[in-house]
Structure 1
């Protein structure tokens, strides 16, 4: 089984990460049926709302995940009371489907337990069937459902 370590992201690492993370989120929104332009606007608005103070936004944690010396992905969570919410987790494109997503999520669970958190939540786009399967295998259960209809 792969084990990764989470290293806190630095302020200098944040801006390049943010640009790519926001672009990735826009692509996910577009894959859910919105135009590329509307998806980019939605992503910019979402990130601005969630991170008004950027890297210094209270209660948000950003990590890169490493396997040895190799960076394999990243994790962004917000802590609220006894709960962590995963806003973004990703594996480097050339390392996907090799167990790193599972390892990052298990590292997130360890961090939560080490910090006396009792619940972890996340949102996943339904078109991301690989992530859905992984989260179900890890014991996540559906707690709500967003729906949309194109007009």
Structure 2
């Protein structure tokens, strides 16, 4: 497979709405494995409100569309300040979400989007790009590992009640 390249550009308001709906639905599906669906929906809505209080115009956040060399949209990403650090105190950015559109998966675009995100944060003076991934998302974990990401902490749980 040839190495893919992408260009990142700011989302339009319509793209932002669509990407937010998709991201929130995906997050609810993942969280609903661990908690009641309504609680998963509420936590997801609260997260969006907390981290993107101004939506697309939230300072310090990049809500981007990834386009291939033909100008076709192949995915989206949300990159912003590391939520583990105080405002303006970190040299690490955070990849809140990355998505490759289904028809472009398994073609190298995930790797290309990650590389473009890394270049973006490096231009801003960041030394690291961190992220969180659901433990059961084997495809994403494999992508991150192939791209040089390693585990920096691990949260584990086990169902023990009825």
TM-score of the aligned structures, taking structure 1 as reference length? 0.90
Any idea what the Cα deviations from partners look like across 1:95-117, whole Å, max 9, x if unmatched? 21111111100111111222221
Within 5 Å, give how 1:102-117 maps onto structure 2.
102-117=111-126
Q: Which deviations, in whole Å up to 9, do the C-alpha atoms of 1:115-135 show, x marking residues without a partner? A: 221111000001100110111
- List, as ranges, runs of 4+ consecutive aligned residues in structure 1 with deviation greater than 6 Å: none
My pick for the range that moved more, 62-71 or 14-23, is 14-23
Question: SS of 1:120's equivalent?
Answer: strand
Q: CA RMSD in A?
A: 1.6
Equivalents in 2 of 1:90, 1:65: separation in Å?
9
CA shift for structure 1 position 35: 2.9
More helix by share: 1
Matches of 2:140 and 2:150 in 1, distance apart? 13
Aligned equivalents of 1:135 and 1:13: distance in 2?
Answer: 25
Structure 2-normalised TM-score?
A: 0.85
Could you say which residue in structure 2 is the equivalent of 1:84? Answer: 93
2 CA distance for matches of 1:57 and 1:85? 14
85-94 or 45-54, which deviates more: 45-54
Structure with greater strand percent: 1
Unpaired stretches in structure 1, ≥5 consecutive residues: none
Question: 1:120 matched to which residue of 2?
Answer: 129
Unpaired runs of 5+ in structure 2?
Answer: 82-87
